[in-house]
Structure 1
Amino acid sequence: MSTQVLLNLVHPIFEKSWANQAMLEAIKDLDYVKVNDLYEEYPDYFVDIKREQKLLLEHSLVIFQHPFYWYSSPSLLKEWQDLVLAEGFAYGEGGYQLAGRHWLNAITAGAAKESYTPHGFNNFSTTELLRPFEQTADFCGMNFVEPFIMYEAETISHSAVEKEAQRYRDYVDSVVQSLGLLEVEQDDQDKEA
């Protein structure tokens, strides 16, 4: 089975994040997932644009797994977006090569869900705070999938993290099933036979 899901893991200190480690462990064995650890690939921030664009074109669903740093993402993901989602590829003349693909943010947030409300500590919902990612996906002709969010990632118990990691696996599997990504692959295999 070929991979249909590209997991762009973006965590600068992954070895210290047991929440992100548990999330990765929960889905990395799925046959249809390819893991692309951006900090492992580009510790110097010199992103191989052609490699990354090729990976995007080879997958139907792109997951960006990252901590929710300052209501956004770690800086390498911004660098990646600036370079990889270039004019002539992701938009503009000769662009929109990602049209019809799917974008999913899978984030870990340190605070409780209740703090992400108009009257909570963070003043806005995570949905509102993730709008720049949603708009980027839309601008590139991609479909923005409802994000996966693990709240209180730094303070919940290990057993709670394990349950959240299983919820992540179940969510990714349900998204893949609902988008019919595995059916598309089977149809392609039938045509080749």
Structure 2
Amino acid sequence: MLVLFAHPRPDRSEVNLPLFETAQNVQGVTAVDLYARYPDFSIDVDSEQAQLIAHDVIVFQHPLYWYSAPSIMKEWQDLVLEHGFAYGLHGKALHGKTFMNAITAGALSEAYSTEGMNHADLRSLLAPFEKTADLCGMRYLAPFVMYGAGRALEDSRLDIHRNGYDDLLKALVADRLDLDKATHASVLTDVLDDFILKGEAV
């Protein structure tokens, strides 16, 4: 599994950096800090494409910035997901892989509903990522999200969320996540235990 992490100020990150450290400690996960690897945004397209080919599950881990991701993640998509590689008549390199977002959001969950401040649920707002996955022939899973991330430490929610992220990554590595359920969910955070398969991997 490949976790691509993007946070422009990790020194100020109270939630994303600890979550990335969790990913780094899961056996079977390749965890990459895009800002640390490419401080000048000079992305090595060949290297990144080879890394994608080598992994079956790709996770974008990032804070939700303007209903999207930090800028390096957009740059990465623009350059790495080339026609002829990721999509197009001969662009089959990512077909059959699994893709998802693991994100932090500043607002509480109530804001992400048709009646809430954003007038849309989170998965709808992440539609560009889902459509990218569709175009590239990948299965898109519902996002794993921490709402109200700015108060996670004060509310003593960080450790619980880290444990959930650890469970999610280990389940994906071991092929113990019910991908059909995870594909059709709105978010994975509160229902994760119901989606992790017991017994033999599928």
Classify the TM-score, shorter chain: 0.7 to 0.9
* Per-residue CA distance 1:125-168 (angstroms, 9 max, x = gap): 10100111001001000110121001111112253111111111
Question: Offset at 1:169?
Answer: 1.0
How many angstroms does 1:179 deviate by? Answer: 5.6
Instruction: Tell me if the contact between 2:23 and 2:31 (Cα under 8 Å) persists in the aligned partners.
Output: no
Q: Normalising by the residue count of structure 1, what TM-score does the alignment of the two structures yield? A: 0.87
Offset from partner CA, 1:70-129 (integer Å, 9 cap, x none): 000011111111100000100113212100011010000001001101111111110100
Equivalences for residues 44-123 of structure 1 within 5 A: 44-123=40-119
| CA-to-aligned-CA distance 1:24-49 (integer Å, 9 cap, x gap) | 22221111001111101111111110
C-alpha deviations, 1:153-190, integer Å up to 9, x for none? Answer: 1112253111111111112222333369xxxxxxxxxx
Tell me the C-alpha RMSD between the 2 structures.
1.4
- Using structure 2 for the length normalisation, give the TM-score: 0.83
Whole-Å separation in 2 of the counterparts to 1:67 and 1:79: 16
| Aligned with 1:152 (options 137, 148, 152) | 148
Task: Say whether residues 1:162 and 2:177 are aligned partners.
Answer: no
- Hey, what does 1:138 align to over in structure 2? 134
Letter in 2 for 1:38: L
Tell me if 1:178 matches 2:186.
no
Listed as ranges, the gaps of 5+ residues in structure 2 are: 179-202
Amino acid at match of 1:116: Y
SS of residue matched to 1:64: strand
**Map of 2:181 onto structure 1:** none
Aligned to 2:19: 23
In structure 1, C-alpha distance between the alignment counterparts of 2:73 and 2:109, rounded to whole Å: 24
Determine what percentage of the aligned residue pairs are the same residue: 43
